[in-house]
A and B are shown apart, each in its own frame.
Chain A
């Protein structure tokens, strides 16, 4: 399957829609263990990306994703801005100058993005962060492709793995980010960052062209 630039423009558009629809939900999750602004901040960042989309129609995939990353870095603030900004920036750098990708390229850009997030945030698995959704999702995508499944099935498994990882954050005690100051009081709440990561991966799966 060939992934043209339109897939990536659609990814960003879908993500903006899903984050807007879930804005209050994300903020409520954040109110319990953080500072009650995750939904508002993500919505503000992806709204800015939407404004940029018309100017990106003729750009290559690398440029599209890097612009998205820089937009998030400049407009979101807090911890989510640098983390999601790095995700898209590193993903874009991995496919610099390319206007068409194959499924292996998609796995590569996601790997570079997730590695970027882990380097920036220094959160290991199990710290109750977005890494708990992103890391298993990446493994699921790579495994599915290696085992020869088509991209649609592979992305379905990717989202399922992310959702499973997201739900697994509920009993965790946070050891990174602002929730970590709550110690044991952070258990019993789903991590807002893991939740927004699931939405962004869902947006990617929905952007796949139907053959």
Chain B
């Protein structure tokens, strides 16, 4: 496997140095511990939003740092969660006096590291909210697994909450909005090839020429099942069907209770989609699939949604949450209401998402 790198050990740092050079004046990269924040952080009087996770998913999350989206991102090693001190330093750097919302993808490592960081920040007097994204319909139950993984809805939640924070939502209202976005979104992913983690140098799994892996996460982990390769239309039909027909999903999650100053278990329910729901359709490349192929998927997706009575009122198409150079696609559908549409359309100015400015 050929990679355009200098050394496997320096991939994360050198990539961030490049980003810092490219977007000087807009974002600031801090090293030791590593985090990326808005150049104008902390923004006084606004709730700050922090996210993070393993590297290898670029542009997520560092590419979403900027006005109208994240205040800070904490990149870990490739596919490895960031550490609590990284996250705490980022929270300190961006806290503008109104508290910090952490948007956390549901992976055991991310969850634990963000929880410890939240406890440390709370001990320093920073008001916090910690909302999990768990939208991957490929994981069927939460009782016998870690629960659904956090995938495509994360990008949409970061954009929508970022806009709401700029509009002056307080911490409680912002946390409730983030939870609502999570409960309204569903995703599923598919791989045509594996990816190669730089430090390992060999593909994480092997797929034959005529095979595909359905129900993948974003770390090159194996998916729900291996199937014979199909056409783009057949694949899209299968993926969209699995999202639209996904039944109600309920699970227990641990959220930070600001009033109690401790964690509490809450039961959350994602209702199924219903005919007439207005949707945001997000067609995402896993890194190696070109835009032309994403449009072939979108073409079929739009046709299915129209036929089945789900108007697509907004869309996002491109590589936003990748797994290194993996060929593949993920589809996310998010139920919108007037408030979410309004917040989606609000100005955003980040390296990877930019409109209205």
Contacts and interface: CB of A to CB of B under 8 A. Distances in A.
A202 to B, nearest CB: 25
B82 to A, nearest CB: 7
Nearest to A78: B109
Contacts of B220: 35
B113 interface: yes
Nearest to B116: A82
B85 interface: yes
B116 A77 contact: no
B63 interface: no
B144 A175 contact: yes
Interface string A54-97: 00000000000000000001111111011101100000000000
A35 B83 contact: no
Interface stretch (B16-24, B73-81, B161-169, B335-343): B73-81
Nearest first, the 8 closest Cβ-Cβ pairs linking A and B are A82-B112, A180-B145, A79-B109, A78-B109, A79-B108, A77-B80, A74-B85, A175-B144
B146 A120 contact: no
A122 B253 CA distance: 11
Interface of B: 33, 76-77, 79-85, 107-109, 112-113, 115-116, 139, 143-146, 149, 200, 204, 217, 219-222, 254
B219 A35 contact: yes
21 contacts: A35-B220, A73-B85, A77-B77, A79-B81, A79-B108, A79-B109, A81-B83, A81-B109, A81-B113, A82-B109, A82-B112, A82-B113, A120-B115, A175-B144, A176-B108, A177-B146, A178-B219, A178-B221, A182-B222, A183-B145, A185-B222
Nearest to B223: A181
A121 B79 contact: no
Contacts of B85: 73-74
Nearest to B120: A73
B84 A74 contact: yes
Given A35-B220, A77-B109, 13 more contacts: A35-B204, A77-B81, A78-B81, A79-B81, A79-B108, A81-B109, A82-B84, A176-B146, A178-B219, A178-B221, A181-B221, A182-B222, A183-B144
A36 interface: yes
B219 A180 contact: no
A46 to B, nearest CB: 15
B108 A177 contact: yes
A36 B286 CA distance: 21
Contact of A175 (B113, B145, B149): B145
A181 B149 CA distance: 9
Contacts of A20: none
